Structure 1
């Protein structure tokens, strides 16, 4: 469920999503894009209505330095960078700058991705499941969630769609959410980012860019079904389920998964 904030469009409560063990508790798990632009009202909503107690930041140090999180009262901040500091792929580069009003940069990104953002992204996404560093960081993320806090945990990257998108696939899988519902949550990103997608298209039109560029904006700023399909394909090539992937690749065994379900499901 989307959390209605003034300047954080892609912030949402995972509460209410149906699992094999009931449903996810409300106001416990929040996925988001970066919080740098959060207003005082946004901060107040997260602090008071959601009792925010923990923030997990998936971004690299240079991203955090450029757009740091605002200060929240009585909130633990945990840094779990999903990508190594020097690991700059095109997919990562586009996410880092997705909120910056730099149309020239968007143009450059599209050109670097050879006017096929979707094809490049499909190649990049599975690396988050196979790269040893990224796997270790997602493992840290899940293990941190085993330490329950009396309030909400918010985890975020920059746009809240790529690194957070894959992390949410793993988290929802561990909680027993169906593949169909995991995909639906992922694709909801386009609903919450639609205004931003339209905004960038309008800016590019004003700048005089033709349809070769305009057609790539939704794939760059939003998500595609093919992206999450590439994640499931990577998992299913070796394992029958996300649960089995977690056991064998992240050492997150069934006892831990059951503990996670006990904390976050009702």
Structure 2
């Protein structure tokens, strides 16, 4: 199935995970799990839309600096939870122009290699595992409404959260990969904006390539995280149980809550 894109006017990459089929033939319920990019630009109309859609929990994976610079706009009915995956934004999508110049102008592959390192950390770092465990705790406590989870671009920290929750629900790896890569269909307007600004500031070709690589999802990024998981834990199921400490009972509960 194709991803379900929400009708948000002043944000991007807002997607309902509902409809994905599991290995045992069930499907993820709609209006239960929404992944997205930033909420700082939402219009009043968008905020009202999220309320009507049922969003009652907003899980923010961004750092404290990111949250302070671009605070979420969300319905008054939604509980806001700061759940930082990293203490600093390793994905680099929130860096200033000066920081990006220093990082990417001399090496066209700097952005790509940065993302490979980041994805290993998204699987193995203590801070990421703690954040994703809290995410599951929130999901386990949400019986009726929509839980929305996001970072800045909605593709890396959010992307791995989607990988983990879909795996926990029993969705097959091919479908999980397709959902992960679908970000590239929806991130283009944000990437175009970033590249246009970089060109105005005199960014060279190395810079433009580096920015493209940190605003794009590649199969190699996900593969790096999955390889780290398999090398360290054996497989995704053991990762969920040992790294994220989900019990068999909790996995069963998740499936009761989010599958139809």
Structure 2 unaligned segments of length 5 or more: list them. Answer: none
Count residues in correspondence. 256
250, 253, 260: which one pairs with 1:256?
A: 250
- Per the TM alignment, residue 240 of structure 1 is displaced from its structure 2 partner at its CA by 4.5
Aligned counterpart for 1:10 among listed residues 5, 10, 13: 13
1:56 counterpart residue number: 59
1:57 and 1:78 in contact (8 A); partners too: yes
Supply the RMSD in Å over aligned alpha carbons: 2.0
Partner of 1:96: 94
In structure 1, stretches of 5+ residues that fail to align are: none
Distance 1:138 1:182, change over 3 A: same
Secondary structure of 1:34 counterpart: coil
Matches within 5 A, 1:1-266: 1-21=4-24, 22-48=26-52, 50-84=53-87, 88=88, 91-92=90-91, 94-97=92-95, 103-111=97-105, 115-266=109-260
Partner secondary structure for residue 5 of structure 2: coil
Shift of 1:167: 1.3
Greater mean alpha carbon deviation, residues 153-162 or residues 232-241: 232-241
CA separation in 2, counterparts of 1:32 and 1:262?
24
CA distance in 2, matches of 1:112, 1:175: 43
For residues 179-215 of structure 1, give each alpha carbon's deviation from its aligned partner in whole angstroms, at most 9, with x where no partner exists: 1111111111111011222233333334443322222
Superimposed CA distance per residue, residues 143-192 of structure 1 (whole angstroms, 9 cap, x where no aligned partner): 21111242211011111111111111111110111111111111111110
Q: Secondary structure at the match of 1:158?
A: coil
**1:112 offset after TM fit, Å?**
7.5
Alpha-carbon shift at residue 71 of structure 1 (Å): 4.2
CA distance in 1, matches of 2:106, 2:203: 16
Distance in 1 between residues matched to 2:254 and 2:205, nearest whole Å: 46
Evaluate the alpha carbon distance shift between residue 171 and residue 235 of structure 1 in structure 2; reply closer, same or farther with a 3 A threshold: same
Cα gap change, 1:202/1:71 in structure 2, threshold over 3 Å: closer, same or farther?
Answer: closer
Whether the 8 Å CA contact 1:172–1:182 is kept in 2: the answer is yes
| TM-score, normalised with respect to structure 2 | 0.90
Q: Is residue 53–residue 74 contact of structure 1 (8 Å, CA) maintained in 2?
A: yes
> What's the TM-score once normalised by structure 1's chain length?
0.88
